[in-house]
Structure formats: C-alpha cells, structure tokens
C-alpha cells in the first residue's frame, strides 16, 4: 500500500464529483460578503449579486454554446427535467398527448413520465440495443401525429454510452416535435453545442461537473420559441419559468465549474481515457469480465463491468478500499438488478454482477493500479466461494439449469 | 447498508467453504435460489453411519448476508442428527446475525438449503433401502 494513496479511493464520479477547490473559493465570498439578493434593485448588495449571477449564466452558456438568456436556474437536473417534461406536456396538451422516451433513462425522466401518464398522457418507452444505444428507425416508427415531445439522455448514467443527439434532433425538428435532452452526465465530458444541435430543452446540473449540489439549469430555446407551463409559482424570477430567490453562491459555483470545464475538458478527457484503458486492461486479465454498453460511443469516464459468477453487492462489500457503485440495486432495498442492464438484454447473472467505475479529475494512475490489484484479489476470493463459478468450471451451461424459484 | 459484526466476520472469514463429492453416498447436497434473484446457495452435509452430520461445506453466490447465513449454518449443523438440522429455523439464523428485514430472505434461503441437503441425503438412502429390499 503506497503511503500517497488515501482510502477509500473515490471511483464514483458519476454519482457526484467533489467540488473543485477553485470553485469552492469562488463561492465563499457570496455567502459572507456579497450576500445580497440578486433580485434587490435598490442597493449595491443586490447589484453585485445580480452581476455575478449573470456572469455565471454566461459561463454555463459558453460551455453548451447557447445564448445565456435561454438558461433558467433550477435546483438541479431532476427539477430541470420535471419542469421541461411537465411544463411542455401541459402547455402543448391541446396539440397532442403522446410522449416518447427510452427505457434506460434516469429515474428523474421515467418517474416524471409515469406521473404524466397518470395525468392522461400516453408514453412510449423505447428499447435499446445490446450496446445501450437507441435505434433511430425504431424512434421514427414510434412517432405519431399526436407526439409532442421526445426525451433522450445525452450520456447514460450507468453505462456512459452517448446517444446520437444530433440525428435524433434532426428527426424531431423535421416532424415538429419538441426534443428534450438530459445532459446531466454530459457536461465537461463531451462537446455540447446547442448552436448546432436541434435541441429544444436541455437539463443541466453542477454537481457532476465539479460544482456544488443543489444547483442546475434548464435550457429553453427561444428561437424557435419553446413554451412551458410554470411548475413553481411565486415572485416571477427567471422570466416566470421558475420562481424562488436565486441561490447566488450556488450559481456562482456552477458558473465557475462550467468555466473550468470548458478550459480543461479536452486535456482532462484524454488523461481520463488513458486511466480508463489502464483499468480495463488490468481487469480484463481475469476471465469472464464483460463491458456493459458500447465501449466506443461512450464517455471515457465510465467503465461498467460485469464480473460473471460474482454477485455485485458482495463484491462492493469486498472492495471496501474503493468507492464504487453496483449496477444491481440490492443495496437500495430493491432486489431487482439494474433496469438499465436488463434493457441491454444482459442475463440475470451478469446484471447482478456489475460494478460501475467512474473516473474523474482527481483520479490518479496509482489509484487505478491499486484498484486493479484489489479487484483481482477480491473477485478471485468470491469466485472460490461461488457455486456458479464452480459449475461454470465443470462445464455446465447455467442457462440450461432449472433453478428453484424462491 | 450497515452490516452487523457477525455478518462481517462470517463474510470475511467464511467457515467451511468448499465442496464434497456429490456422488459420495455419505453426502447430501442442497442447492437453492436462482441467479435471477441474486443468490444461489449450495450446502453439503457429510453424514456418519450413526446418522450424525460429521462435516459440512458451502458455496454461495449472493450478498454478504447470504454468504454469512450459509457460513453460519455449516457450523450449526455439524454434530446434529438429520432431523435436528432440518428443524433449524430461519428466525434463529436472522437473530444470530442481526439481519435487517430486507435481508431476511437470506436466512430463509439458508434454512431451505439445509432442508434440501437433508432431503437429498435421505433420498439417496431411501433408494438404497428400496434397492436392498428388492434384492432381498
């Protein structure tokens, strides 16, 4: 164990990232000195706060290449998604009642869609291929005369695959259908160009891009104009889209985080890709290790692997020197394996055996080396304990076994 | 999820891991659970001529609580008669390991594994008995 390593090693950057110390420094004065309400027009405290909020808006807009006026501050991606989907569905409900999304979306989208179904909308949940990607022909076939909105995430949170947002945008625009993109996992990892993309609504968050939790934004296109039914009523902040006093220190944090992301993204991506490749090469030396989701059309920060014949929760318990998450949701009291991996058509064993490693700005080569050794030891130990591994080694095809249900 | 100390102890130092020869007459094998549910337990008992369980082995695919439950019962069944072993209840296992409600199914699986192993042993010997009677 190298003395330079600090344990546990954090490899869960897709759950949340640490706030970059430069971001934290920038935020602090807006808590203690420049604490004015950005909506106060009558004194310098308010002016100062408003100026900083608008500067932050420019930084966010610059990263995703949109007009700063198209951004609405929210509390994070979940709120942005709720505002986009409910707001658009309710506003355009006289035009149609059909919405389209994908089975592998984040719960923030899926659960909002369920709520809209309860309100009388019809939702199509599209399948993905074994690579995790949406087939455009299938999407086109799902569109109806009364389809008002399509919602697809940019980068999947569990497997990191990048959907073909440019092509989906072209298709939706040609049919006059609104297109919402959940970009929570995309900012700072892949290029997002709202000038080129035919995207009408985009949900953003700060805390996956080295900013603070509790702040996000919704991009609402003005040309051509997208209308939304307001979900949060009050003082009419943010052009009436979202009332509530602006959390100026959070906003300044998001702005600084996005400013740094724009500056450092290209170099960071290549550095992380090298680390990810090193991690994969090391773990691939074991037998029966599978990558979940396409490896090419994927952000380099994500590596989701199934260690066949080892159950995910016990593996996470074993690898206590590293902080990762299990694709299987056993730990959250549901005994179902990951619905994302199920949607890829992964067998139950493989879906129950997955680990998501997500790397980021502060991941080092030493940490990756340690992780490889640690995983190899623990997987070997658990396989010695596994009756499935024993059967596999005896040449038994597990898919032919009749299991007693319980 | 916070695990009890006993679960962690059994998980980190599992007792009686391994396999006996399934074909051995003195061995009873129970395999319960399914990969789809996220746990599979294999429990084997080795029974002496006096009908007492001399030794036990297990292998488990599952969460820490499932591994701990099966490790624990391999200790408990040793030295017991078949019927005594088969009467071990999941509630005793859950209480010993302080399993939270969401992990009770692990203790049920361990109880089922003992029953299945005892059943398998009895079946083998019931057949022997029947064969002997036929021969006679």
- B133 by DSSP, 3-state: which? helix
User: Strand A71-74's sheet: what is its strand order?
Assistant: A71-74, A216-220, A201-205, A178-182, A147-153, A98-102, A122-126
B41 Cβ under 8 Å from any chain A Cβ:
yes
What average pLDDT score do residues A106-123 get? 98
Q: Is residue A406 scored above 70 in pLDDT?
A: no
Name the percent of chain A lying above pLDDT 90. Answer: 89
Q: Is B69 exposed, middle or buried (0-12, 13-18, 19+ CB in 10 A)?
A: buried
pLDDT of residue A300: 97
Which of A20-34, A245-259, B28-42 has the least mean pLDDT?
B28-42
For residue B101, give the DSSP letter. G
Which residues of A carry out catalysis?
A: 330
Per the CB < 8 Å rule, is B17 touching A404?
Answer: no
Q: Is residue A334 scored above 70 in pLDDT?
A: no
Q: Is residue A351 scored above 90 in pLDDT?
A: no
pLDDT of residue B9: 96
pLDDT-based confidence at A156, cuts 50/70/90?
Answer: very high
Q: Taking the model in full, what pTM does it have?
A: 0.92
pLDDT of residue A333: 45
B55 Cβ under 8 Å from any chain A Cβ:
no
Per the CB < 8 Å rule, is B62 touching A317?
Answer: no
Chain B residues whose CB is inside 8 A of the A337 CB are 38
pLDDT of residue B38: 86
On average, the pLDDT of chain A sits at 94
Chain A residues whose CB is inside 8 A of the B68 CB are none
Distance CA A328, CA A352 (A): 5
Q: Is residue A331 scored above 90 in pLDDT?
A: no
pLDDT of residue A335: 58
Name the percent of chain A lying above pLDDT 70. Answer: 96
Q: Which of the residues B36, B38, B44, B69 would you substitute to probe the A interface, choosing the one with the greatest number of A C-beta atoms within 10 Å?
A: B38
The residue ranges of chain B whose pLDDT is under 70 are 1, 127-136
pLDDT-based confidence at A399, cuts 50/70/90?
Answer: confident
List, as ranges, residues 60-99 from B with C-beta within 8 Å of A. Answer: 60-64, 66-67
- B13 by DSSP, 3-state: which? coil
* Residue A252 φ/ψ, nearest 5 degrees: -60, -40
Distance CA A64, CA A377 (A): 42
pLDDT of residue A330: 42
pLDDT-based confidence at A244, cuts 50/70/90?
Answer: very high
Per the CB < 8 Å rule, is B39 touching A311?
Answer: yes
A404 Cβ under 8 Å from any chain B Cβ:
yes
This model of the complex carries an ipTM of: 0.91
Per the CB < 8 Å rule, is B1 touching A331?
Answer: yes
SS3 letters for chain A? CCCCCCCCEECECCCCCCCCHHHHHHHCHHHHCCCCCCCCCCCHHHHHHHHHHHHHHHHHHHHHCCCHHHEEEECCHHHHHHHHHHHHHHHCCCCCCEEEEECCCCHHHHHHHHHHHHCCCEEEEECCCCCCCCCHHHHHHHCCCCEEEEEEECECCCCCEECCHHHHHHHHHHHCCEEEEECCCCCCCCCCCCCCCCCCEEEEECCCCCCCCCCEEEEECECCECCCCCCECCCCCHHHCECCCCCHHHHHHHHHHHHHHHHHHHHHHHHHHHHHHHHHHHHCCCCCEEECCCCCCECCCEEEEEECCCCHHHHHHHCCCEECEECCHHHHCCCCCCHHHHHCCCCHHHHHCEEEEECCCCCCHHHHHHHHHHHHHHHHHHHHHCHHHHHHHCCCCHHHCCCCCC
pLDDT of residue A76: 98
| A314 min Cα distance to partner chain B (Å) | 4
| A380 min Cα distance to partner chain B (Å) | 13
pLDDT of residue B50: 92
């Amino acid at each position: 164990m190298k003395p330079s390593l600090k344990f546990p090693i954090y490899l869960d950057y897709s759950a949340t990232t640490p706030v970059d110390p430069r971001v934290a420094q920038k935020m602090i004065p807006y808590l203690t000195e420049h604490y004015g309400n950005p909506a106060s027009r009558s004194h310098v405290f308010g002016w100062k706060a408003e100026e900083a909020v608008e500067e932050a808006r420019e930084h966010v807009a610059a990263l995703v290449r949109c007009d700063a006026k198209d951004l609405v501050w929210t509390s994070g991606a979940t709120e942005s998604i709720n505002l986009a989907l409910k707001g658009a569905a309710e506003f355009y409900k006289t035009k149609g009642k059909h919405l389209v999304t994908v089975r592998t979306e984040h719960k923030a989208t899926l659960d909002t869609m369920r709520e809209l179904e309860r309100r009388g909308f019809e939702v199509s949940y599209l399948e993905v291929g074994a690579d995790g990607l949406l087939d455009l022909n299938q999407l086109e076939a799902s569109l109806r005369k009364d389809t008002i909105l399509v919602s697809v995430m940019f980068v999947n949170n569990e497997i990191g695959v990048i959907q073909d947002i440019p092509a989906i945008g072209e298709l939706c625009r040609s049919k006059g259908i609104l297109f919402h993109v959940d970009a929570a996992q995309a900012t700072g990892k892949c290029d997002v160009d709202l000038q080129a993309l035919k995207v009408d609504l985009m949900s953003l968050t700060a805390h996956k891009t080295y900013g603070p939790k509790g702040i996000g934004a919704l991009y609402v296109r003005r040309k051509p104009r997208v209308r939304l039914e307001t979900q949060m009523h009050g003082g009419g902040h943010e052009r009436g889209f979202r009332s509530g006093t602006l959390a100026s220190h959070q906003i300044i944090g998001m702005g600084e985080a996005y400013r740094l992301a724009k500056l450092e993204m290209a170099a960071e991506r290549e550095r992380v890709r090298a680390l990810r490749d090193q991690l994969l090469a090391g773990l691939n030396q074991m037998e029966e290790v599978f990558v979940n989701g396409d490896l090419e059309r994927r952000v380099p920060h994500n590596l989701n692997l199934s260690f066949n014949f080892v159950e995910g929760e016990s593996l996470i318990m074993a690898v206590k020197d590293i902080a990762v998450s299990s694709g299987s949701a056993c730990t959250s009291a549901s005994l179902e394996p990951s619905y994302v991996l199920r949607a890829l058509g992964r067998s139950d064993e493989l879906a129950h055996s997955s680990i998501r490693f997500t790397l980021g700005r502060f991941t080092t080569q030493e940490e990756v080396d340690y992780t490889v050794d640690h995983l190899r030891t623990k997987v070997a130990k658990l396989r010695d304990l596994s009756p499935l591994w024993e059967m596999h080694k005896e040449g038994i095809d597990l898919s032919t076994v009749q299991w007693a249900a319980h | 999820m916070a695990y009890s100390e006993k679960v962690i102890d059994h998980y980190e130092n599992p007792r009686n891991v391994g396999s006996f020869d399934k074909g051995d007459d003195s061995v009873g094998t129970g395999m319960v659970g399914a990969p789809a549910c996220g746990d599979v337990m294999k429990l084997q008992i080795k029974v002496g001529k006096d009908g007492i369980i001399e030794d036990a082995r297990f292998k488990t695919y599952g969460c820490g609580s499932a591994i701990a439950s099966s490790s624990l019962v391999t200790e408990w069944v040793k030295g017991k008669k078949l019927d005594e072993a088969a009467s071990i209840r999941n509630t005793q296992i859950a209480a010993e390991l302080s399993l939270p409600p969401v992990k009770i199914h692990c203790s049920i699986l361990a109880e089922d594994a003992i029953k299945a192993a005892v059943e398998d042993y009895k079946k083998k010997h019931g057949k022997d008995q029947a064969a002997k009677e036929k021969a006679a």
